[in-house]
Structure 1
Amino acid sequence: MDLQEIDVFIDDNGEVKLEIRGVKGQKCLDLTQDLEAILGGEIISREMTPEAGEVIQKIKNQEFNWS
């Protein structure tokens, strides 16, 4: 499993900034949903990283019958 990190920054004015790493696709929104709600739920701005645009690709192993 890849390492997933959430960094929380709080400035002198009480504004909170979250930075997410190690999460591909839009799963970062699910990951921070509860934390955002606890912090008041008001999102002033949201910047998605290139990692958020990546597609999670799963490949299912298949057996082939070559006869």
Structure 2
Amino acid sequence: MSDPHIHTPDDGRGRRQVLVDGRLVKRVVYADTRRGLVRYHDDPPKVDKHGKRIIVRTRRGKVEVLPL
């Protein structure tokens, strides 16, 4: 198990809601509550100009992770 402040979809702790500065963020792939960092995909996902990768965006602020 990883550090308790790092959350990913495959860490085995179930589904959760992620809030950044009180606003819900969907399609989160990484959240770090200690550093205040969230990485997420757009909805619908966007592909880079070469068509090889999905674009991942980063948001910073007060991160809260709540169980569903």
Indicate whether the TM-score tops 0.5. Answer: no
TM-score (ref. length: structure 2): 0.26
Larger proportion of strand: 2
TM-score (ref. length: structure 1): 0.26
Larger proportion of helix: 1
